[in-house]
């Protein structure tokens, strides 16, 4: 493994709080909610018990050319939009990095669910002739990564980790490994998801993992609050441009910070439920600190996965306590963003980097009565101003996937 640091030179996002990083970050700091009532016909048609979600603040069809948008699934659209932002933010063009030294890693939890449903409806109602020849490229989970790779002409590798709600964070972890092993000089990495659809909403509702606070959508997602009743489904994408420090400095790039270490593990406990002892999650966090050369006492902040589910929120704090201790200040962006599934880890990693850069931790929205099982200090109410020497961003997913990312200042 190379000792060369991995630095962050570009950020891109489109989320329920805004169509770019700046508006999303402002929404987190000012305590805005991206959750609202769903008005899709299928909500009433199937009498779904959940009638709220965190839709994108800016529809992708308002950003992309009409013909391109029609040829992409919504999950691919958001990936391309966020990647373009990050690429431009990093100051890259076709001459700044050789294609053979450029890689893409964009994870997703579900992929092209909307395309699959829409094209199946066409097949059932109108027959074969109306089914799009682009159906498979639009529904495949590697579609977001593939389209970003095609746009940027990346030839060092295009990869698509699929690890449920840890997918976006695993995309960043995979990018870190590629840079450390010398497979690339630049990796465009993150996650994308857009699967607010009848079948996903119905499935999560039947599993009783989603909030049914339909009469008060903006206060439905409430991580660590005693009255939390489940997560709110969201959509979006988050992309980072990661580079070998030596390469970035040689081209005079601005540097947001460092992805100093990564850790992954698996619970092997339950397909949907986290290990209540937090053992696997703690191992991932410990591995991230080890690879970053950090001591637990160096970590001032944890950007938590905390989804607003009764079981998951407290278990994560147990893991943080085991791996780091009780001293870090925690926050949970899902109170404002909802749960972006495969994009969540990437968007929240961006928030972690900006917290370090700006010396401020966004408040956890809707935390009114903290669960007594959570002993750590939680940023809530107002942004918390503090110098952050190191921060960890957690992401966990169905199947027992655990990813922890350790960030440090530039």
- Catalytically annotated residues: 165
Place of tokens 């991206």: 34
Question: Which candidate, 246, 348, 188, places its Cα nearest to that of 4?
Answer: 246
Only one residue has tokens 């119905």, namely 202
Q: Contact 303/331 with Cβ under 8 angstroms?
A: yes
Give the SS3 label for residue 223.
coil
Q: What's the distance, Cα to Cα, between the start and end of the chain in Å?
A: 21
Buried b (16+ CB within 10 A) or exposed e, 366-401: bbeebbeebebebbbeebbeeebebbbbbbbbbbbb
Give dist(CA 157, CA 105) in Å, integer. 8
- Two tokens at 209? 């993992």
d(CA 403, CA 401): 7
Q: Report helix, strand or coil for 257.
A: strand
One DSSP character per residue, 109-156 reads: SS--HHHHHHHHHHHHHH-GGGS-TTHHHHHSTTHHHHHHHHHHT--S
Angle formed by the axes of helices 344-358 and 21-30, to 10°?
A: 70
Give the residue from 175, 186, 177, 5 showing the smallest Cα distance to 98.
186
Most distant pair of Cα atoms in the chain: their distance: 62
Q: Which residues of 72-91 are buried (b: 16+ CB within 10 A; e: fewer)?
A: bbbbbbbbbbbbbbbbebbe
DSSP codes of every residue in 339-387: B-GGGHHHHHHHHHHHHHHHTEEPPBTT--SB-TT--SEE-BSS-EE--
């Amino acid at each position: 493994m190379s000792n060369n640091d991995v630095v962050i030179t570009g950020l891109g996002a489109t989320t329920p709080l805004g169509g770019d990083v700046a508006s999303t970050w402002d929404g987190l700091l000012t305590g805005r909610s991206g959750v609202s009532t769903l008005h899709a016909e299928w909500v009433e048609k199937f009498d779904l018990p959940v009638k709220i979600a965190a839709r994108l603040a800016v529809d992708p069809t308002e950003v992309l050319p009409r013909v391109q948008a029609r040829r992409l699934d919504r999950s691919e659209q958001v990936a391309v939009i966020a990647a373009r932002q990050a690429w431009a933010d990093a100051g890259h063009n076709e001459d700044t990095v050789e294609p053979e030294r450029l890689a893409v890693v964009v994870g997703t939890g579900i992929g092209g669910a909307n395309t699959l449903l829409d094209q199946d409806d066409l097949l059932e109602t109108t027959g074969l002739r109306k089914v799009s020849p682009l159906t498979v490229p639009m529904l495949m989970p590697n579609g977001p990564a593939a389209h970003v790779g095609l746009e940027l002409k990346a030839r060092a590798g295009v990869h698509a980790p699929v690890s449920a709600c840890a997918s976006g964070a695993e995309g960043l972890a995979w990018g870190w490994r590629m840079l450390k092993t010398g497979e690339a000089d630049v990796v465009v990495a993150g996650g994308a998801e857009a699967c607010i659809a009848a079948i996903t909403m119905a499935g999560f509702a039947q599993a009783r993992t989603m909030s049914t606070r339909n009469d008060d959508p903006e206060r439905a997602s409430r991580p660590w609050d005693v009255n939390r009743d489940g997560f709110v489904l969201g959509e979006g994408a988050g992309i980072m441009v990661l580079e070998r420090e030596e390469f970035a400095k040689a081209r005079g790039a601005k540097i947001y910070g460092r992805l100093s270490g990564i850790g992954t593990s698996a619970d092997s406990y339950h397909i949907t439920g986290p290990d209540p002892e937090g053992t696997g999650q703690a191992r991932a966090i410990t591995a991230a600190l080890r690879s970053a050369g950090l001591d637990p006492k160096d970590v001032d902040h944890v950007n938590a996965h905390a989804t607003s589910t009764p079981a998951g929120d407290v278990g994560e704090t147990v893991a943080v306590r085991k791996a780091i201790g009780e001293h870090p200040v925690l926050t949970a962006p899902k109170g404002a963003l909802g749960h972006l599934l495969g994009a969540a880890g990437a968007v929240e990693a961006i928030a972690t980097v900006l917290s370090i850069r700006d010396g401020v931790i966004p408040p956890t929205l809707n935390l009114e009565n903290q669960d007594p099982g959570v002993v750590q200090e939680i940023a809530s109410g107002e942004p918390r101003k503090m110098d952050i020497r190191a921060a960890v961003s957690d992401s966990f997913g169905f199947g027992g996937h655990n990813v922890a990312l350790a960030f440090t200042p530039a």
